[in-house]
């Protein structure tokens, strides 16, 4: 929401800023509302047309690939996209594939699938000089449309063993089709173009998919984490974290996300939520999670979400309460309508035993706000202590059953 507002402010100052308009359109594509998604697609089509008019290569490619990934269904939008593709250089083979796909319904019917397979094979036969990157592009397009068997025909096994990107794309489609034996044969093939940590990751993934949460698969997940540690590769840590989280191995997921969150890596804003979720699910204490996040605070003083999460963890752990209260009060003097600062001030006051002071913030806390479950737990604690038991009960009913919370947060809910 903050990013959306910032883009709107940029466009108010510079209405012709194509970068901001593309970003705003892409933002609409993330909406859960069909009408907003449709508006985002139309805006991207507008920006693609503009990029073609002014020969903006970068904007043109960004719009093209974003629209391709959307699997357009509206006939008018599909027709317009196809016409715009015809205005782009036709020698780029991926554009011809996307153009051809726009002529089929979504999802594909069996008859369409057979026609498409024949067309793709003719295309590959008539383009003998097609390189590995073009094959990869075609395969990725087909994967976006769920056509994994067709993608596999574009990347034969023997060719995938010569290029790591082709190999991982082939493994993606084999995974989707649950072809476990073929995956195993690729991973252990002689001279396979995978580093040890990639091999270990795929072995763990394969074991978890085929044997579930067995001791052997968990062991392989641990080996993958050890190999990733030796390479110090953030992407590998994130991949292991996601894999472990998907299979409910929350301790390993927390460790992997924590390694990815290390100050050694320049970008980790997107990992705050997953790291805290897995640490809660894994039974970690609030002060342990605080230790994982605090190291990054010094290099990201601008990160408001991280700062708020750390403030909540410090209040739960009984640390820096006075300074958090002072900071929240200063923020409220600048902006009396700052709901989150009122929440922190009330929470800090309550932790200090100043119930009367905490009660002074209740009016601001009645304003609508998208509180997360852990924040709701603290709000319930504040409301109960201030005698607002009816409101506390109403808020308690809004916490989803089984929501991930630290033991300290559960204690707030149990407090009388």
Give 250-302 as a 3 state SS string: HHHHHHHHHHHCCCCCCCCHHHHHHHHHHHHHCCCCHHHHHHHHHHHHCCCCC
* Span 60-68, average pLDDT: 90
Chain segment 347-377, per-residue pLDDT in tens: 999 999 999 999 999 988 888 888 999 999 9
At residue 285, the pLDDT reads 95
Q: pLDDT over 70 for what percent of the chain?
A: 98
Q: Which residue has the higher pLDDT, 235 or 302?
A: 235
At residue 16, the pLDDT reads 74
**CB neighbours of 331 closer than 8 A, spacing ≥ 6?**
338, 341
* pLDDT-based confidence at residue 85 (cuts at 50, 70, 90): very high
258 pLDDT above the threshold of 70? yes
Phi and psi at 331, nearest 5°, equal -65, -35
At residue 242, the pLDDT reads 95
* Lowest mean per-residue pLDDT among 4-8, 49-53, 193-197: 4-8
Chain segment 183-213, per-residue pLDDT in tens: 999 998 888 898 888 899 999 999 998 888 8
Q: Which residue has the higher pLDDT, 300 or 153?
A: 153
4 pLDDT above the threshold of 70? no
* Span 108-113, average pLDDT: 87
Quick one: which of 145, 196, 197, 136 has its CA closest to 167?
136
At residue 264, the pLDDT reads 87
* Span 271-280, average pLDDT: 94
Question: What tokens appear for 133 in the block?
Answer: 């990157």
Q: Tell me what the pLDDT averaged over the chain comes to.
A: 89
Q: Which residue do the tokens 């907003």 mark?
A: 36
* Span 391-405, average pLDDT: 91
At residue 224, the pLDDT reads 93
* Span 250-269, average pLDDT: 90
Q: How far apart are CA 408 and CA 415, in angstroms?
A: 11
* pLDDT-based confidence at residue 3 (cuts at 50, 70, 90): low
At residue 2, the pLDDT reads 63
Tell me the Cα Rg of the chain: 26
Chain segment 33-49, per-residue pLDDT in tens: 888 889 989 989 999 99
At residue 151, the pLDDT reads 93
At residue 416, the pLDDT reads 77
* pLDDT-based confidence at residue 379 (cuts at 50, 70, 90): very high
* Span 295-301, average pLDDT: 83
Handedness of CA 194, 217, 209, 69 (dihedral sign): negative
397, 377 in Cβ contact below 8 A? no
At residue 1, the pLDDT reads 60
Q: How far apart are CA 411 and CA 387, in angstroms?
A: 18
């Amino acid at each position: 929401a903050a990013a959306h507002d910032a883009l709107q402010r940029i466009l108010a100052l510079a209405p012709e800023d194509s970068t901001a308009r593309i970003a705003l359109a892409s933002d609409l594509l993330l909406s859960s509302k069909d009408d907003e998604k449709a508006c985002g697609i139309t805006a991207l089509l507008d920006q693609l047309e503009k990029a073609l008019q002014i020969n903006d290569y970068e904007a043109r490619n960004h719009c093209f690939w974003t629209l391709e990934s959307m699997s357009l269904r509206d006939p008018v939008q599909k027709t317009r996209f196809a016409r715009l593709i015809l205005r782009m250089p036709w020698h780029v083979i991926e554009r011809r594939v996307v153009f051809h796909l726009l002529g089929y319904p979504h999802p594909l019917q069996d008859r369409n699938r057979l026609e498409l397979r024949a067309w793709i094979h003719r295309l590959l036969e008539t383009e003998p000089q097609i390189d590995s990157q073009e094959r990869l592009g075609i395969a990725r397009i087909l994967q976006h449309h769920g056509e994994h068997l067709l993608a596999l025909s574009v990347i034969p096994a023997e060719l995938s063993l010569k290029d790591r990107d082709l190999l991982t794309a082939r493994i993606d489609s084999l995974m989707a089709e649950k072809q476990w034996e073929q995956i195993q044969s690729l991973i252990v093939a002689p001279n396979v173009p995978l580093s040890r940590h990639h091999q270990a990751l795929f072995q763990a993934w394969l074991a978890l998919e085929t044997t579930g949460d067995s001791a052997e698969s968990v062991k392989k997940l641990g080996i993958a984490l050890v190999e990733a540690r030796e390479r110090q590769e953030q992407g590998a840590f994130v991949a292991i974290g996601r894999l472990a989280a998907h299979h409910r191995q929350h301790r390993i997921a927390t460790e992997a996300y924590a390694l990815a969150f290390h100050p050694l890596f320049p970008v980790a804003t997107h990992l705050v939520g997953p790291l805290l979720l897995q640490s809660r699910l894994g039974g970690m204490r609030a002060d342990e999670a605080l230790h994982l996040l605090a190291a990054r605070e010094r290099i990201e003083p601008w990160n408001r979400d991280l700062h708020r999460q750390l403030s909540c963890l410090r209040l739960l752990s009984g640390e820096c309460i006075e300074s958090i209260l002072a900071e929240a009060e200063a923020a409220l003097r600048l902006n009396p309508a700052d709901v989150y600062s009122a929440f922190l001030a009330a929470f800090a006051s309550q932790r200090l035993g100043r119930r009367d002071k905490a009660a002074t913030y209740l009016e601001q806390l009645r304003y609508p706000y998208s509180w997360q479950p852990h924040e709701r737990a603290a709000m319930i604690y504040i409301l109960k202590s201030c005698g607002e038991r009816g409101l506390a009960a109403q808020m308690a009913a809004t916490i989803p059953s089984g929501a991930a919370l630290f033991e300290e947060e559960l204690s707030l809910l149990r407090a009388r």
